[in-house]
Amino acid sequence: AEAGLMGAGVQPKDAAVLLTSLVQGIAIRWSLGSRNFDIVPEGMRLLEVQLVLFACREGQK
């Protein structure tokens, strides 16, 4: 956050928890579901979304 790489108010520990949850969530969706999606591209897609959200500044959408 101090280097300006994350949006205002995003704490590094919170970012770590969110990224860990993203990985766990997609693994659970894949393993408990019918495994009807390719886990790697879906994980990369959601990671990109999360990184964009991390980069948003206050007042920016």
Q: What is the pLDDT of residue 30?
A: 94
Q: What is the pLDDT of residue 32?
A: 93
Does residue 49 lie within any of the structural domains?
A: yes
Does residue 2 lie within any of the structural domains?
A: no
pTM of the complete model: 0.73
Count structural domains, the chain.
Answer: 1
Q: What is the pLDDT of residue 1?
A: 45
Mean pLDDT by 10 residues, the chain (61 residues): 63 92 95 92 95 76 51
Q: What is the pLDDT of residue 56?
A: 82
**Structural domain that includes position 31:** 12-55
Distance CA 25, CA 37 (A): 14
